[in-house]
Amino acid sequence: MSSTLDPDVAGQATRRRTFAVISHPDAGKSTLTEALALHAHAIAEAGSVHGKGTRRGVVSDWLDMEQARGISITSAVLQLKVDDVVINLLDTPGHADFSEDTYRVLSAVDCAVMLLDAAKGLEPQTLKLFEACRVRGTPVITVINKWDRPGQEPLALLDEIADRLGIRPTPLNWPVGIAGDFRGVIDSDTGVMTQFSRTPGGATLAGRERIDAQEAAHRHGPDWQTAVEELELLTASGQTHDHDEFLAARSTPVLFTAAVLNFGVAELLETVKQLAPRPLPWTDVDGQPRLVDAPFSGFVFKVQTGMDRSHRDRVAFMRVCSGRFERGMVLAHAATGRPFQTKYAQSVFGRERETIDEAYPGDVVGLVNAHALHVGDTLHDGPAVRYPPLPRFAPEHFAVVRSRDTSRTKQFRRGIDMLDQEGVVQVLVSDRRGAQAPVLAAVGPMQFDVATHRLEQEFGAQTLLEPLGYGLARRTTTAATPVIDGKQGAEVLRRTDGTLVALFTNKWRMSTVASELPEGSLLPMFGADDHEIS
């Protein structure tokens, strides 16, 4: 492959918009993802989170457990084409127990859509994920959802965004009708109203009619007048869109939707198309940017197994950072320097796949059966490059897992290895406990539910889970191990990469044990090259 800049790549990159949807659980994230796919004509009919009645389930929640519980557990990658723009939508888990997976996805996007429930406003998980965007300087578009149900006053919601997030909300449109009686929206720039009408069950595109101010006033009377006055108040106070402020993550454009009815979704899709940033140069571990039209480089932000029930394959999701990806090209694996063959490259839409022959900056490529790749790996062509590792969460929950059936030991071990490589849980072992009783370490207890469910469904390994009383983990040394293991409420295990990990019941126990150890015996859970989030 050539090591020179490719002018066509820069043009292709300007067509890409890559974003993630972040929210608190039950704010309507999977429903919005489905509605966006419907409006982009990627699907013919929108599914329901619970697959109610004759409607199928949503395409982004493909895992059996997701469909049963009505929540997002895995991350989904959907590529949508709107006119001449290619939109890469990365759906993420909303539940706090899967925060680490969401953080991985946020590392691969250029923009985020923050989804708020009109009745609940800003919720704890939303705040945490917004902070992750702030740390990375990721621009955020805010969507106030569920306007078809009773909720807060729109001005109060904007005040909450400004006060609690310290970012200036700038409405691109404004609702006509109170929450629970959603008539349509006023475009902040033109003053034209888009009036919505329902379709049966919300499975198909909602009716949209654009009407001028005079006709809107005639049809909607006081509701229209209230919306106009509120929007004028915001305009007078300077809460209007400034694109540079948005890209600098100092302001957030705001839109109103009822995703379950497909109201306001077309406006969001157009906003992403027009305002979301194009792919920018990625910065390597030395702080040097790699231009989007430089030779190819890609970053693995997620690994997923079990998407193909027939083959139990393993897919590494790679964000294209620079250059043109061509299926079959031989790349260098930055961590080992070894060549990596890209013969099996696919685009992934929920559980559906298609072979992909080329991709450009901002696109996501699924590399199938890429057993040599792990989360945080860099692949490149031409001049060597390595991108910084992903931030990591410190685990707070620990449990021993065993196979119920000794005849399924091989399947049990294979499943544990796969879950560890994906990052579903971290796996710790020790000579004392033995390989048959690994310790699973997780951010939240629901990760254990996912791990045991997948061991059973994908590997046929029924398990027994025994929670441990530990609440803290620290890296330690070989010299400190005998001292720690000799204390009540403490134990040393080995992470699968060879790192020694000391577990403690609480901070007091850790402090007591640390007083008997040489300085530097207890370190943050992740290595010096990693970023830990607690």
Of the pLDDT bands very low, low, confident and very high (cuts 50, 70, 90), residue 392 is low
Which residue, among 249, 254, 214, has the nearest Cα to 234 in the 3D structure? 254
pLDDT of res. 312: 60
pLDDT of res. 476: 96
Q: Angle formed by the axes of helices 446-459 and 409-422, to 10°?
A: 130
Of the pLDDT bands very low, low, confident and very high (cuts 50, 70, 90), residue 533 is very low
Grouping H, G, I as helix, E, B as strand and the rest as coil, residue 50 is coil
How large is the average pLDDT for residues 113-140? 91
Of the pLDDT bands very low, low, confident and very high (cuts 50, 70, 90), residue 69 is very low
Helices (H), 96-253: 99-106, 124-136, 154-165, 213-236, 243-247
Q: Could you give the C-alpha distances from 232 to 171, 237, 256, 356, in angstroms and in order? A: 11, 9, 17, 48
Of the pLDDT bands very low, low, confident and very high (cuts 50, 70, 90), residue 99 is low
In whole angstroms, what is the distance from residue 307 CA to residue 313 CA? 7
Both tokens of 248, joined, read: 């600098």
How large is the average pLDDT for residues 247-271? 97
Which residue pairs, CB below 8 angstroms and at least 24 apart, start in 200-208? 201/53, 201/55, 202/46, 202/260, 202/261, 202/262, 203/45, 203/46, 203/47, 203/55, 204/38, 204/45, 204/46, 204/262, 205/38, 205/39, 205/262, 205/266, 206/261, 206/262, 206/263, 206/265, 208/266
In whole angstroms, what is the distance from residue 238 CA to residue 530 CA? 41
Both tokens of 228, joined, read: 């106009």
Grouping H, G, I as helix, E, B as strand and the rest as coil, residue 354 is strand
Q: Please tell me the pTM assigned to this model.
A: 0.81
> What is the tally of helices (H) and strands (E) in the chain?
13, 32
In this model, does residue 261 exceed pLDDT 90?
yes
- Percent of the chain whose predicted confidence (pLDDT) is above 70: 87
Grouping H, G, I as helix, E, B as strand and the rest as coil, residue 510 is helix
pLDDT of res. 349: 65
pLDDT of res. 201: 74
504-532 tens-digit pLDDT: 999 999 999 999 999 999 998 754 344 44
